[in-house]
A and B are shown apart, each in its own frame.
Chain A
Amino acid sequence: MDHKIAIRQFVRELLDNKGDDKPLNDDSHLLTSGRLDSVDAVQIVVMLEEKFAVDFAQIGFDQTMIDSIDAIDSIVRSAQAEETAEPLLKHGK
């Protein structure tokens, strides 16, 4: 499954749990708008660490980094790019 679909689904569920049935666009603000809170942010972070091997200890963390589906998607893309780049580097050694 395309990772962006998985992210959309995950965020939609978090919103549903809060009784938020408002439309969700890929650029909708999630945390800075108050639709999701810091506890939800942790759910997103854990999902990204577990499913997409994003390493926040390396890249740092700021709520704006996961404030929309587009933002989350771009973190996943960078993490995946790094993952594919790493073996090449090792090979180069």
Chain B
Amino acid sequence: MESEVPTVSSQVESPFSPPLLAVLEALLRQHPGVSAAKASSHHPQLGQVTVHVVPNDEYLASFLKGDAEERKRLQTWRKTFDLTQLGKEAASAEVGFNIAGWNSSYARQPIPEPAMREWVAHTVAEILSFAPQEILEIGCGTGLLLLRIASQCKRYTATDFAPAVLGKLRQQLEVMPGSWEGVSLLERAADDFTGMAEDSFDTVVINSVLHYFPSVSYLIRVLEGAARVLKPGGRIFIGDVRSLPLLKAYCASVELYQAEGDVPLNELRERVTRRRKLQDQLVISPAFFLAFGERNAKISDVEIRVKRGRHDNELTRYRYNAVLHARSEPNNKTTVPWMEWTNLQHGRADLQRVLREEQPETLAIRGIPNARLNQDLFALKRIFDPHASATVADLQADLLAQQPNGIHPEFLHDDGDLAGYRVDLSWARCPEDGSYDAVFSRKNPNHQQSIAVDWPQLSTAGADLWTYVNVLGANSLRQRLARELETFCQQQAPPEFQSCSIQLVDSLPATD
């Protein structure tokens, strides 16, 4: 490899002539962690060469693949959850409703109890709609779901890796009325399926857990294990997944909330970018599940569901549920004629009229603007406008003057309920504006569950699964790569460049 590097001629007079800098760039481009490199010298002294490097994301993610790194991350999270159970909040929690540790990223305060009650109620209703009898719950926590579902099932096996959390759940099972004979609790990591037979559960629940997984390979391992123990005809319910297409809008909304009024928007923009890079949790595109479903023989189809809930918070705005079905008749998808939301001239009034008067068997509408995200998307656009010269206070004033826009998903559920329709809402197109698609299907007492619909979805053909997940804690990984590249230069570059400085950037600076 070394012999392929162009050698530096000692005859070159200026140590920083463009050809010489090109040598350094060529050397760095041979490193697998480098996608692009541009060397520049603004000072004629030796050692003042800066190389801007665009890192290779796949290489950054490879830092996470090591077992030691995975273990370290898991231990940190386990400790985090155990600590939540040592505080006053957990000690005074109502039996059956221990929400210690559920904090808002905005206010850094506990998410208000009514919002959490609604969140639990919708999640429980969604799972019970499958009429499950044999459930495996991975990451059961303090039992917010288990304590509401298990007594209606034959068997409920629940796992969690945090001993103090499981201890709290055991205490509640002892004092709460209910038939808990079918419940077994196992202290173990999510990827441990030891002792679980193939095809042994009709429903696997993994709720609000995926973002704590330490790597994409771990995530894939868990889903493969879940699919293996799933009975044909069953489903994997994955709740509360943080959305990658909306990550930037989420980061912008949090930073805007926390910023002082006099902060200029260009500084806010930097904070948003930094927050995005510092994410220590897995943030996953719905496309990941679509692609996983296509690659796993047992999974027949995948639903990407928009969260239910009237409370407005990061859970309802920025998360979704994925349901991976292993249907017995995998090819029995209902083809529905799709119409665009923009074709409904009077919006919701038209929709209500069609449902009431025409009463179609199904009605499928795509591209419905999302009222939950209207303000955040407006703010995002302004923050990333390169000509923006305003401050946070200016932006907040503009937001107050904004006309409401879009349709709240719960309004469509109301319209459906009123006209006797089941409503399913999807994010399978993975839109960055949070717009969604809807299918209204006439309620049938014999068929409560969602029908397999050919939802419009992002094509995932040929793409690697890791491209649909953020790079965890990218900031520390980037620092690690920068150090690695500096060592690489010390060992391989001509003496003039051995102390060059590496700056990792998202794109190369424009050439002069």
Interface residues, chain A, CB within 8 Å of chain B? 17-19, 31-32, 34, 37-39, 41-43, 45-46, 56-57, 60-62
**Cβ of A61 and Cβ of B87 under 8 Å apart?**
yes
**How many whole Å from A28's CB to the nearest CB in chain B?**
15
**Contact (A19, B88) CB under 8 Å given A41-B83, A42-B83:** no
Q: Across the interface, do B280 and A62 meet the contact criterion of CB distance under 8 Å?
A: no
Is the beta-carbon distance between B86 and A60 smaller than 8 angstroms? yes
Q: Are A18 and B475 in contact (CB under 8 A)?
A: yes
Which 5 residue pairs of A and B lie closest in terms of their CB atoms, listed nearest first? Answer: A61-B86, A42-B79, A62-B87, A61-B83, A42-B76
Chain B at the A interface: SS class: helix
Q: Which of B243-300 contact A (CB under 8 A)?
A: 258, 274, 278, 280
Contact with A along B57-92 (1 / 0, CB 8 A): 000000000000000000010011001001110010
Q: Which residues of A contact B476 (CB under 8 A)?
A: 17
Per the bound structure, the CA–CA distance linking A38 and B101 in Å amounts to 10
Choose from B80, B258, B475 the contact partner of A17 (Cβ within 8 Å): B475
Min CB gap B82→A, angstroms: 9
The CA-CA distance from A60 to B79 in the complex, in Å, is: 13
A39 touches B475 (CB 8 A): no
- Residue B108 lies at the interface, judged by CB distance under 8 Å to chain A: yes
B76 and A39 contacting across the interface, CB-CB below 8 Å: yes
Nearest CB of chain B from residue A72's CB, rounded to whole Å: 15
Minimal Cβ-Cβ distance residue in A for B270 = A19
| Total count of chain B residues near the partner, CB < 8 A | 16
**B86→A37 contact, CB < 8 A:** no
Contacts of A46 in B (CB 8 A): 79
Cα distance, A42 to B79, chains bound together (Å): 7
Q: Are A42 and B88 in contact (CB under 8 A)?
A: no
Q: List 28 A-B contacts (CB under 8 A).
A: A17-B475, A17-B476, A17-B479, A18-B278, A18-B475, A19-B475, A31-B108, A32-B108, A34-B108, A34-B258, A37-B280, A39-B76, A39-B80, A41-B83, A42-B79, A42-B80, A42-B83, A45-B83, A46-B79, A57-B86, A60-B87, A60-B88, A60-B91, A61-B83, A61-B86, A61-B87, A62-B87, A62-B88
Q: A17-B475, A19-B274, A34-B108 known; 7 other A-B pairs, CB under 8 Å?
A: A17-B479, A43-B76, A46-B79, A57-B86, A61-B86, A61-B87, A62-B87
- Docked CA distance A60–B83 (Å): 8
Q: Which residue from chain A places its CB closest to the CB of B476 in the assembled complex?
A: A17
Complexed CA–CA distance, A32 and B103 (Å): 12
CB within 8 A of A56: which of B80, B83, B479?
A: B83
Chain B hits for A60, CB < 8 A:
86-88, 91
User: A32 to B86, alpha carbons, bound, how many Å?
Assistant: 18
Q: How far is the CA of A38 from the CA of B105 in the complex (A)?
A: 11
Q: Which residues of B contact A61 (CB under 8 A)?
A: 83, 86-87
Contacting residues, chain B, for A42 (C-beta < 8 A): 76, 79-80, 83
**Distance in Å: Cβ of B79 to nearest Cβ of chain A:** 5
A39 and B280 within 8 A (CB): yes
**How many whole Å from B215's CB to the nearest CB in chain A?**
15
Q: Which residue of A lies closest to B103 (CB)?
A: A38
Chain A residue with the shortest CB-CB distance to B277: A19
> Who on chain A is nearest to B83 by CB?
A61
Distance (whole angstroms) from the CB of A59 to the closest CB of chain B: 8
Q: Closest Cβ of chain B: how far from A83's Cβ, in Å? A: 20
Q: Which residues of B contact A17 (CB under 8 A)?
A: 475-476, 479
Q: What A residues does B479 contact at CB under 8 A?
A: 17
